[in-house]
Structure 1
Amino acid sequence: MTDVGPRIRAYRTMRRMTLRALATAAQASPSFVSQLERGRAGASIGMLRRIASALGVTVADLFAEDDEVRPRVVRRAERPELRTAPGTRKYLISQRPLRNLEVYAAEFDPGASTGAEPYTHGDAQELLLVLSGRVTLSLGPPGAAADHALGPGDSLEYRTSVPHRVVNEGDETAEVLWVISPPTPSD
């Protein structure tokens, strides 16, 4: 059987998550998580579920001995949809467990946006690619944001820790792709 501690540490470091952040998200003490990662403590199934959830994986992923990356097809009709702002449809197109990156496809109806306020998530590298239509990507805090008008084939790269917001100010549906590396922990 695989020692779960090193796998937890590997997922945590891949996500650039601190030990304290994982402990907080899993409702555990940092010293316990440290001991678990070093193989000096065991964890209950409940604790492993909380840790796996904080890492964006399943409990089974913590025990999987086969790390070989195999081709994995995601059919358009089978993409998990994430609930977002009205007029926006966002789909996860990379499959869990998220290893080195996560990829999302989104559609914005005319006038739709990622929300009224800019948002941040973790501190990863993010790339936005416009597949069709036109969007404006605002980067920076409200009142000091720089607006970037993007059309088909245009892309922009930024840190997820920078407040950002996407809006479709055009009169046709816009389709975009987000690529994030490493995957950001879910809130």
Structure 2
Amino acid sequence: MTDRSLPGLSDEFSVDAADAALGARIREYRMMRRMSLRALGEAAQASPGFLSQLERGQVNSSIGMLRRIAAALGLTVADLFDQDSEPGPRVVRRADRPMLHTAPGSRKFLISQRPLSHLEVYAGEFDPGASTGDDAYTHGDSQEILLVLSGAVRVELDGRAHDLEAGDSIEYRSSVPHRVVNSHEVSAEILWIISPPTPD
């Protein structure tokens, strides 16, 4: 690749090194997606042979082709060059989890990280008496699972209450009005798992 405006390509990188690094990242993301070269080729309008050479750093690719490859992998072109976001295992320390704005007495943290976004995972903490808000809410129409990690909560689904304790879970559509409340005297911690991701 010769376009130095793309992230991840410094002047210190030789073109060969950049091609090899890019190819390795494409292969890792493809393997994480459990896609064959043929499947990626069909989605990106490229031959499996070309993709194989690209993954080995033996050929260059146009920006247009990289856009198609990235889209087929559920990424952006910038993701392919982002050296700070490795495609392998990524550890997110509890203290480093991004926190989202929530109702008073509760905290919501994003666990799942970009760029592979097949699902969203959030951790929630509820002080005694705290909730997700006075009103039930919806977001998209995805499969959502709520798992209670500690304490106990009440999950209200379309006006119907479900009392859950540690280890209990409940599954529902995110399009169903839902609300979580901790009416107990101890804090509660939960996990939300949503697939596919939905806008908040």
Task: State the partner residue of 1:180.
Answer: 194
Rg larger in structure: 2
Q: Per-residue deviation at 1:102?
A: 1.0
Cα-to-partner distance string for 1:61-88 (whole Å, 9 max, x where unaligned): 3x5599x941111000100000100000
C-alpha RMSD over aligned residues: 2.5
- Unpaired segments of 5 or more residues in structure 1? 12-56
Instruction: Give distance in 1, aligned partners of 2:197 and 2:184.
Output: 30
Which residue number in structure 2 is paired with residue 168 of structure 1? 182
* Aligned-partner Cα distance in 2 for 1:127–1:137: 11
Aligned to 1:77, what secondary structure does the other structure show? helix
- Measured in 2, the distance between the counterparts of 1:172 and 1:98 equals 35
Q: Which of the numbers 136, 150, 171 marks the counterpart of 1:118?
A: 136
- 1:4 alignment partner in structure 2: 67
Counterpart code for 1:148: H
Aligned to 1:15: none
CA contact (8 A) 1:137 1:148 kept: yes
- Quote the offset at 1:114 in angstroms: 0.5
- The Cα shift of 1:178 comes to 0.6
Equivalent pairs counted in the alignment come to 136
Task: Quote the sequence identity (%).
Answer: 61
Higher relative contact order (CA 8 A, sep 6+): 1
**Residue pair 1:98, 1:183 contacting (<8 A) in 2 also:** no
Query: Residues 144-159 of structure 1 correspond to what in structure 2 (within 5 A)?
Result: 145-159=159-173
* 1:71 equivalenced with 2:85 (yes/no): no
Distance 1:110 1:69, change over 3 A: same
Matched, 1:82 2:89: no
TM-score (norm 2): 0.61
